[in-house]
Every structure is written in structure tokens, then in C-alpha cells.
Amino acid sequence: MFRMMIVDDEERIANSIYDLMDERFDFELYRCYSAVEALEVIRTMRFDIVITDIAMPGMTGLELLSKVQAIWPKCHFLILTAYDNFDYAYETLRHDRVDYLLKIESYDTICQCVARKLEDLQKERAREEKLRHYDQYRQQVEESMGRYFLKRIIVQGIPLPDQHDLDQFSVPLRLDEPVLLVLLALSDQNPMTNNRTAMDILQSIRERFQVYDIPFLPYLSTGTILLAIQPEGESSLAGSRVTYVQTALETLPQTVEEETGRKLAILCADAPLPWSQVHELYQRAAVRLEDIRSESGMLLLDTAEELRHSEGKLPFPSMEELNMLWEMVKCGNIDSFLQVLREELSNAPFPALPETTVAAVGFLMTEAGRLYAPQQDLAAEKKRLTACDRFGSLEEWLRNLDDYLRRIRQAREENRESRETWLIVRINQYIEQHYQEDLTLTRLADEVHYSPAYLSRFYKANTGTNVMTHLYNVRIGKAKELLENSNDKVSDIAVKTGFCSTKYFNRVFKKLTGLSPAQFRRQTVDGASGN
């Protein structure tokens, strides 16, 4: 919606133009009876069109024009004057985005001029939107290509591209310089909240690295952030840069826990490596990370030691295999999950399974518990099942894992209905308490830690109505109470019930009740008096 200000020291004229604009156009309207007063308002918010008298005490319309254009250079002006004076007209017309009309012009002429300006504004906004989308698209392409290269090189181990390929998409890394590998893992694997938290973490990292202008590139997966950092460069401060990066990251888990209540584990290589060795280190570090995911703090990874012990095939499971197993658990395909474990571990010495294997299974148990039974404390169960020497054979261990997974899935089914009921009640309570505020679907989704799209679908499926429709029904219900039981102006009631403008309030009220607010109030008064 566009915003318009009407300024005239003659209240009758200002009010007439205000009513005319309100009737003919869908603007957010304001009016002032002096240029000084108008300027104070315009300094606090952007206006798209200003209709002003040219000759006013204290400050003229031309002076107002000059001051407003310094603040909002894209604002359009319509100057009204009772003086048929060429010099005034000439001075005004020298300004861009300004039209000049005599006060003796008809209201139709004024409306035609405003309509042309509205058309210009719509075209300008469309052009700006296209440019904004283009910039966003370009940025997204560059960022996605950066993540694409990072995934191929580090995660998948695909041979390095040419430096030209990275430069073409503004990837801020060089293939001829060593890279410092860092993995960060959030204790909470909820994908609905992880993205927001991960973006906050990345912003904090950017701010910390600004001291040395350290280039890095992130790659995000569920609950995990991969950073490729190049702190050395050609600077004589190369060594201190590596130390600074490690120090800056070391304090991050405490900050995240204080601000979000969530634990952040960081696994940081102790030194940069050539790109050719980073994939190998990543494969080992990614599995090792799962063993410390539930902790808060940073662990330095001895890169030389890790690479020295890397011989041939990595211990089961690799990162790709771990992701595959997690997908099986999430989908409830427990039989396939156990079969993969059985096949991969059939020749392994039981109970002396590789440390990374036991850590990975422990991670999957923890995440399954968070997914299926978030209200239950399953730490003791995890401890029991990851102590493999308590079981006489691989089959006995697998049977216990099977029992654990099926029990927590059953717990989820039993609690699903109560959780759904709680969510609906929580949303409705929040709307009831905050309907006067600027409530959006995003804000409501943040309150219950879901994505806006999921909340919209969930609420509609369980109530039969849209969550925003319910919000407007609550607001109109409160408005009815005020119309019936108070003498407040309709404009004041609109503000009290959370509407951005009186006109929009009138439109929504009539759509939901079939009456305007004034008609509803008259009907209520007539009914109460028995007429």
C-alpha cells in the first residue's frame, strides 16, 4: 500500500482532499495543517505522494518539497496554489516527480493527476522489485554455486575444479592455498528451527572474522555446518590468523547456549591442509563429530594423527552411509536399518566394534529419541545400548536396538494427538493475547518453533480454517465489543484491534459481517433501544 500526506493550512481544503482521496484511492492517508507539522511526520516514515499547498505560514510548500526530497528523494509531489504565478510554477516544475495545479482546478483534475502518479509509482515499484529479485537471484546463484563446489570437493571428494570456475561465481576461496576445516553441530536436530539458528551462527562468525577479513565458505546440512576457511593468505599475520580463528570459534558455543539454550559442538582442525587432503579428513571428522554433538564446546582435531590412521576404507559408517541410516530411521524403516547394520558388522569382532561405528549408532539413537519421544529422558538407554560388551552377541545387540526404536515410535503415536491439541491451543492463546500487535504467519510460526508453511498446513488441517483467518475473526470480534460497549471512534478501534489503517479495517469488517463498522454500531444501538 502506498502512503500519502495532504498538507494545507486551510483545514476545510485539507479535509476535503483527504475525503476525496479516501473515496477514490486505496492509500494509507495522513493530513496536516502546516508544513512544519507535516515535516515532523515525514521524518519518521516514508511517503510516496505529498499533496501540499504552496503558500503556508511558517514554511512554504516549496520549502517542504526541498526538505522532503532530501529525506525521501523518490517521493512524488502535487503542488496546489491559489496564485496563478508563472515564477512559482516554473520553480516547481524544475523539480522531478512534481506536478503543479491551481486550486481552482476541479476535483476530477486532481484525481487524474494523482492517478497518473499512482501509475508511475506502480511502475517504479515494479522496476525496483525486478532489480531486487535480480540481485537476490544473483546472490543466491553465487552462494549456491559456492556450496555446490564445497560439497563436491570436501563432502564428495570429487576432483578440484579450475580456479576460474570459482572466480566466476565469486567463491571467496583459492585452490592454491591451504584450507582450515571446521565442523559445527547443533544438539537439536529439529529442521524447523535449525535453519534460523544456523543463519544466526553464520552471521556471528562473519562478524568475528571481520577483524582480519578472513575468507570462508559455509555448507549447511541438517544440524551441521561445514566451514572451509583460509586464514593464512599472503599476510605476515598468517599464524596469528589461524590462532585468531580458533579463539574466535572457541567462545561461540557459550554465546549460542546463552542466547538460544541450545548446545553447539565444534570440531576444528588444528592446522590448514591442502585441498587434496581435506575430503579424507572430513570423512573421519564428520563421523567423529556425532560423538560430541550433545556437548557444548570446541575440540581441536589433530589432523596429522587422523590422516596417519586413515588407511583404505573408512570405518563403517561413512558420512554418506550415516545419512542413509538416518533416513531409514526417520521413515520408520527399522527392518532395513537393522539389516544394513547386520550385513556391515557381520565380520567385525563383537563386542570390539570400531569406535566410530558405536558413536554413529549412539548418535542415531539420540536423534531418534528427539524425533519420536522428545519428552522422554533416554540418556540411560543410550548408555546401555552403546556399551556393546554388555551383550553376548551381535544379534542380541541388534534385538535390543530393534526393541528401543519400536518402543519410542509407539510412544510418538500415543503422544501425537495430545501434541497436536497443545499446538492449536497455544496458537489460539497467543493470538488472543497479541491480536493488537503486528502478527504475521512468520511470527506465529516462530512462537511454536515451526516453519510458516508447516504451521499454515497444520492449522488448516486440524481446524478447517486458515490461521490468519482466525486472527482476523478474533480482531473483528474484539472490534464488535468496542463498537457495542464504547464511544471510541472507528479509527481508534481499528488501531486497538491491530489494523494498519481505518480503510482496511472497514473493508475486513464488512467482508466478515456484511456491515460497515458504523452500520453495525447503529444497528446495535437501535436494537438496544427497541427501535
CATH architecture assigned to 419-529: Orthogonal Bundle (1.10)
**pLDDT at residue 40 tops 60:** yes
Is 187 in contact with 293 (CB distance < 8 Å)? yes
Q: How far apart are CA 343 and CA 365, in angstroms?
A: 19
**pLDDT at residue 139 tops 70:** no
- Tell me the pLDDT of the chain averaged across its residues: 81
Query: Coil, strand or helix: which one is 159?
Result: coil
| pLDDT confidence tier of residue 189, bands split at 50, 70 and 90 | low
The structural domains of the chain, with segments of one domain joined by +, span 3-127, 172-305, 319-416, 419-529
Phi and psi (nearest 5°) for 214? Answer: -85, 120
SS3 content of the chain, % helix, strand, coil (to 5): 60, 10, 30
- pLDDT tens for residues 85-118? 545 555 555 566 888 888 777 888 999 999 999 9
**pLDDT at residue 237 tops 50:** no
- pLDDT tens for residues 249-285? 988 888 888 887 888 899 999 888 888 888 888 877 8
| Better pLDDT: 35 or 292 | 35
pLDDT of the residue at 64: 92
pLDDT of the residue at 417: 56
Query: Coil, strand or helix: which one is 279?
Result: helix
Average pLDDT (63-72) is 90
- The fourth-level CATH superfamily of domain 3-127 is Response regulator (3.40.50.2300)
Residue percentage of the chain with pLDDT more than 70 = 85
Q: How far is CA 177 from CA 123, 229, 232, 272, 314, in A?
A: 48, 10, 8, 9, 26
Question: What residues have CB less than 8 Å from 505, skipping those under 6 apart?
Answer: 479, 490, 493, 494, 497, 499, 517
| pLDDT confidence tier of residue 49, bands split at 50, 70 and 90 | very high
Question: What residues have CB less than 8 Å from 296, skipping those under 6 apart?
Answer: 187, 253, 254, 256, 257, 263, 264, 265
| For the ranges 132-136, 210-214, 215-219, the one whose mean pLDDT is highest | 215-219
Of 63-67, 174-178, 371-375, 509-513, the poorest mean pLDDT is in 371-375
* Maximum Cα–Cα distance across the chain: 104
Q: How far apart are CA 31 and CA 49, in angstroms?
A: 12
CATH class name, domain 172-305:
alpha beta
| Better pLDDT: 418 or 457 | 457
Q: How far apart are CA 30 and CA 48, in angstroms?
A: 12
Q: How far apart are CA 131 and CA 150, in angstroms?
A: 28
pLDDT of the residue at 234: 44
